[in-house]
Amino acid sequence: MDPSGNDIGVVGLGVMGRNLVLNMADHGFAVAAYNRTDAVTREFSSEIGPARRVQPCYSLGHLVESLEEPRRVLIMVKAGAPVDAVIAELVPVLGRGDVIIDGGNSYFQDTQRRGKSLAAKGIHFFGLGISGGEYGARTGPSLMPGGPKHAYESLRGILEAVAAHVDGEPCVTYLGPGAAGHYVKMVHNGIEYGFMQLIADSYALLKQVLGLSNEELAAVYAEWDAAELESYLVGITAHIFGRRDEKTGGSLVDVILGEAGQLGTGMWTSQSAMDLHVPGPSIDIAVAMRNLSVLDDQRQVAPTMLRPEPDLHDIAAPARQSTDGAASRLQKIEHVRNALYAGLVITYAQGFAHLRAASESLDFGLRLEDVASVWRGGCIIRSAILRDIKVAFQRRPGLPDLLLDTQLSRAVASRRSDLALAVKMGVSAGVAVPGIMTALAYLDAYRAEWLPSNLIQAQRDYFGAHTYKRTDQEGIFHTDWLGGGEES
The set of catalytic residues is 185, 192
Nearest to 342 by CA among 282, 276, 269: 282
As to burial, measured by CB atoms within 10 angstroms (0-12 exposed, 13-18 middle, 19+ buried), residue 283 is buried
Q: What are the respective helix, strand and coil percentages of the chain, to the nearest 5? A: 55, 10, 35
* Interacting residue with ligand NBP among 104, 127, 377, 435 (CB under 6 A): 104
Q: Does 242 bind ligand NBP (CB under 6 A)?
A: no
Interface region with ligand NBP, contact rule CB under 6 A, candidates 11-19, 107-115, 218-226, 432-440: 11-19
Q: How far is the CB of 132 from ligand NBP (least distance, A)?
A: 7
Residue 300 in contact with ligand NBP, rule: CB under 6 A: no
162 belongs to the binding site for ligand NBP (CB under 6 A): no
Separation of alpha carbons 118 and 440, rounded Å: 46
CA angle 112, 113, 117 (to 5 degrees): 120
Q: Do 54 and 29 contact (CB within 8 A), yes or no? A: no
Nearer to ligand NBP, 35 or 55 (CB): 35
Query: Could you write out the DSSP letters of every residue in 343-408?
Result: HHHHHHHHHHHHHHHHHHHHT----HHHHHHHTTSSSTT-BTHHHHHHHHHHH-TT-S-GGGSHHH
Residues touching ligand NBP, count (CB under 6 A): 23
Report the nearest approach of ligand NBP to the CB of residue 355 (Å): 18
Closer to ligand NBP by Cβ: residue 134 or 486:
134
Figure out which of the listed residues 23, 66, 105, 111 binds ligand NBP, where binding follows CB under 6 A.
105
Residue closer to ligand NBP, measured from CB, 73 or 342: 73
Q: Is 36 in the site for ligand NBP (CB under 6 A)?
A: yes
> Does 426 interact with ligand NBP (rule: CB under 6 A)?
no
Angle at 146 between CA 97 and CA 195, to 5 degrees: 155
Which residue, judged by CB position, is nearest to ligand NBP in the bound state? 14
User: What is the strand order of the sheet 142-146 is part of?
Assistant: 54-57, 31-34, 8-11, 72-75, 99-102, 124-131, 142-146
**Of these, 61, 70, 95, 133, which contacts ligand NBP (CB under 6 A)?**
133
Give 33 or 67: the residue with its C-beta nearer to ligand NBP: 33
User: Quick check: 142 binds ligand NBP (CB under 6 A)?
Assistant: no
Of 2 and 43, nearer to ligand NBP (C-beta) is 43
In this structure, the number of other CB atoms found within 10 A of the CB of residue 259 comes to: 11
13 binds ligand NBP (CB under 6 A): yes
Q: How far is CA 257 from CA 253, 294, 432, in A?
A: 9, 10, 18
14 binds ligand NBP (CB under 6 A): yes
Taking CB under 6 A as the criterion, the residue among 2, 40, 91, 161 binding ligand NBP is: 40
Which C-beta is closer to ligand NBP: that of 193 or that of 393? Answer: 193
Stretch 438-467 residues interacting with ligand NBP (CB under 6 A): none
Q: Does 424 bind ligand NBP (CB under 6 A)?
A: no
Considering beta carbons, is residue 108 or 393 the nearer one to ligand NBP?
108
Which of 168, 125, 170 lies closest to 147, judged by CA? 125
Near ligand NBP in 48-77, by CB under 6 A: 76-77
Closest contact distance (angstroms) between CB of 239 and ligand NBP is: 17
Half-sphere exposure of 26 (CA within 13 A, CB side): 14
Q: Are 122 and 95 in contact (CB under 8 A)?
A: yes
Q: Where are the beta strands (DSSP E) in 122-187?
A: 124-131, 142-146, 165-166, 169-170
Specify the stretch interacting with ligand NBP by CB under 6 A; choose among 9-17, 115-123, 410-418, 445-453.
9-17
Residue 17 contacts ligand NBP per CB under 6 A? yes
Tell me: does residue 159 bind ligand NBP (CB under 6 A): no
Q: Residue 243: how many CB atoms within 10 A of its CB?
A: 12
Q: Which helix (H) or strand (E) holds 287?
A: helix 281-293
> From the list 21, 86, 90, 220, which residue makes contact with ligand NBP (rule: CB under 6 A)?
86
Pick 36 or 313: Cβ nearer ligand NBP: 36
Please tell me whether residue 226 binds ligand NBP under the rule CB under 6 A.
Answer: no
Maximal C-alpha separation, the chain: 87
Residue 315 has a CB neighbour count (10 Å cut-off) of 14
Q: At what angle do helices 326-362 and 416-429 cross, to 10 degrees?
A: 110
Distance CA 340, CA 223 (A): 14
Our CB check for ligand NBP shows the closer of 79 and 344 to be 79
Q: What is the DSSP code string of 318-333?
A: GGHHHHS-HHHHHHHH
42 forms part of the interface with ligand NBP (CB under 6 A): no
**45 counts as binding ligand NBP under rule CB under 6 A:** no
Binding segment (CB under 6 A) for ligand NBP, from list 12-20, 269-277, 286-294, 473-481: 12-20
Angle at 261 between CA 276 and CA 286, to 5 degrees: 40
- Which segment (30-38, 110-118, 145-153, 421-429) binds ligand NBP by CB under 6 A? 30-38
- 16 binds ligand NBP, rule: CB under 6 A: yes
Tell me which residues touch ligand NBP (CB under 6 A): 12-17, 35-37, 40, 76-79, 82, 85-86, 104-105, 130-131, 133-134
